[in-house]
Structure 1
Amino acid sequence: MQADTSADCRISRRNLLARGVAVAALPLVAHPAFARPRDEIDAFVLEEMGKAKIPGLALGVARRGAVQLTRGYGFADIAGRRPVTVDTMFHIASITKTVTAAVVVALADAGKFDLDEPVNPYLDFTLANPAHPDTPITFRHLLMHVSSISDQIYYQVDFRERGKDSLMPLADLLKAYLVPGGRYWSEGGNFSTAAPGSMWDYSNVGYGLLGYLVGRITGEDMRDHVRRYFFAPLGMRHSVWKIADVPDKLRATLYDMVEDVPTPVEPVGFPDWSSGMLRSSIVDLTRFLAAAANGGVADGARILSAAAAAQMLEMRTPAGLPDWLTGQGLGWMASELGGVPRINHWGGDPGLFTAAYLDPATRTGVAIFSNMSASAESRTAIKAIADRMLKL
Structure 2
Amino acid sequence: MKHCLFILLLTGLLLGNATAQGPIENDLLKLMQQYQAIGLSVAVVKDNKIIYNKSFGYKNSNDKTIIQNTDIFRIASISKSFTATSLMQLVEAGKLSLDDEVSKLTGFKVNNPKYPDVPITLRMILSHTSSINDKNGYFSLDAINPGKNPNWAQCYNDYKPGEGYQYCNLNFNLAGSILEKFSGEQFDQYVKNHILNPLNLYGGYNVDSLDRNRLVPLYEFNDSTKIFEAAPAAYASPKAKLANYTRGYNTPVFSPTGGMKISALDLAKYMMMHMNYGSSNGVQIISEASSRTMQTKLSDKENYGLALWSTNQLIDGITMTGHTGSAYGLYSIMFFQPEQKFGFVAITNGCIPRYKKSTVALLYDAVNTLYNGMVK
RMSD of aligned residue pairs (Cα, Å): 2.4
Is 1:146–2:119 an aligned residue pair? no
Code of the aligned partner of 1:182: K
* 2:116 maps to 1:133: yes
| Distance in 2, Cα, partners of 1:90 & 1:294 | 24
Structure 2 CA distance for partners of 1:111 and 1:204, relative to 1, 3 Å: same
Letter matched to residue 309 of structure 2: M
**Which of 61, 72, 80 lines up with 2:44 in the alignment?**
61
Q: For the residues of structure 2 that align with 1:194 and 1:261, how far apart are their CA atoms? A: 40
How far apart, CA to CA, are the structure 2 residues paired with 1:66 and 1:138? Answer: 37
TM value normalised by structure 1: 0.81
Question: Which residue number in structure 2 is paired with residue 218 of structure 1?
Answer: 183
Greater alpha carbon shift after TM alignment, 114-123 vs 138-147: 114-123
Amino acid at match of 1:144: S
Measured after TM superposition, the shift of residue 337 of structure 1 is 1.4
Change (3 A) 1:334 1:32: farther
Partner of 2:362: 381
Distance change >3 Å, CA 131–CA 373, structure 1 → 2: farther
Cα distance, 1:196 vs structure 2? 1.3
Q: Tell me the residue number matched to 1:254.
A: 218
Contact 2:36 2:352 in 1 (8 A): no
1:267 aligns to what SS in structure 2?
A: helix
The number of equivalent residue pairs is 348
Cα distance in 1 for residues equivalent to 2:271 and 2:352: 22
- Preserved CA contact (<8 Å) 1:62 1:289: no
AA aligned opposite 1:382 = L
In the alignment, which residue of structure 2 is the partner of 1:209?
Answer: 174
**Residue 298 of structure 1 pairs with residue 275 of structure 2:** no
Stretches of structure 1 lacking an aligned partner (at least 5 in a row): 1-19, 160-172
Q: Is the 8 A contact 2:37 2:352 kept in 1?
A: no
Q: Which residue of 2 aligns with 1:277?
A: 259
Secondary structure of the 1:271 match is helix
**Number of the residue aligned with 2:76:** 93
Contact 1:60 / 1:283 at 8 angstroms: preserved in 2?
A: yes
Determine which of 85, 97, 116 is the counterpart of 2:99: 116
How far apart, in 2, do the equivalents of 1:252 and 1:267 lie? 13
C-alpha distance in structure 2 between counterparts of 1:24 and 1:344, whole Å: 31
1:337 aligns with 2:314: yes
Name 1:46's counterpart in structure 2: 29
Aligned amino acid, residue 215 of structure 1: E
Instruction: Verify the 8 A CA contact 2:37 2:348 in the aligned structure 1.
Output: yes
SS at match of 1:276: coil
Q: Which has the higher contact order (CA 8 A, sep 6+)?
A: 1
Question: Counterpart in 2 of 1:180?
Answer: 146
- Deviation of the 1:40 alpha carbon: 3.1
Task: Check 1:290–1:122 CA distance in 2 against 1; reply closer, same or farther (3 A cut).
Answer: same
Q: CA deviation at 1:77?
A: 0.9
SS of residue in 2 equivalent to 1:275: coil
Do 2:344 and 2:367's aligned partners in 1 also have CA atoms closer than 8 Å? yes
1 CA distance for matches of 2:253 and 2:184? Answer: 20
- Give 3-state SS (helix, strand or coil) of 2:194's partner: helix
For normalisation by structure 2, the TM-score amounts to 0.85
Structure 1 residue matching 2:155: 3-state secondary structure: coil
Residues 297 and 303, structure 1, Cα contact 8 Å, conserved in 2: yes
Match of 1:264 in 2: 230
Which 5+ residue runs of structure 2 have no aligned equivalent?
Answer: 237-251
Matching residue within 189, 194, 198 for 1:233: 198
- Contact 1:255 1:371 survives alignment (8 Å): yes
Q: Once the two structures are superposed, what CA deviation does each residue of 1:325-363 show, in whole Å capped at 9, x if it has no partner?
A: 4x1111112231133343231111122111111211212
Correspondences of 1:3-42 after superposition (within 5 Å): 26-28=7-9, 29=11, 31=13, 34-35=16-17, 36-42=19-25
Aligned AA for 1:293? Answer: M
Does the 8 Å contact 1:25/1:261 carry over to 2?
A: no
Aligned to 1:315: 297
Output the CA distance in 2 between the equivalents of 1:248 and 1:149.
35
Give the C-alpha shift of residue 294 in structure 1. Answer: 1.3
Contact 2:129 2:299 in 1 (8 A): no
One-letter amino acid of the structure 1 residue matched with residue 143 of structure 2: Y
Distance change (3 Å), C-alpha of 1:247 and 1:132: same
Separation in 1, partners of 2:294, 2:152:
33
Identity of aligned residues (%): 22
41-50 vs 20-29, which moves further: 20-29
Question: Greater CA deviation, 130-139 or 337-346?
Answer: 337-346
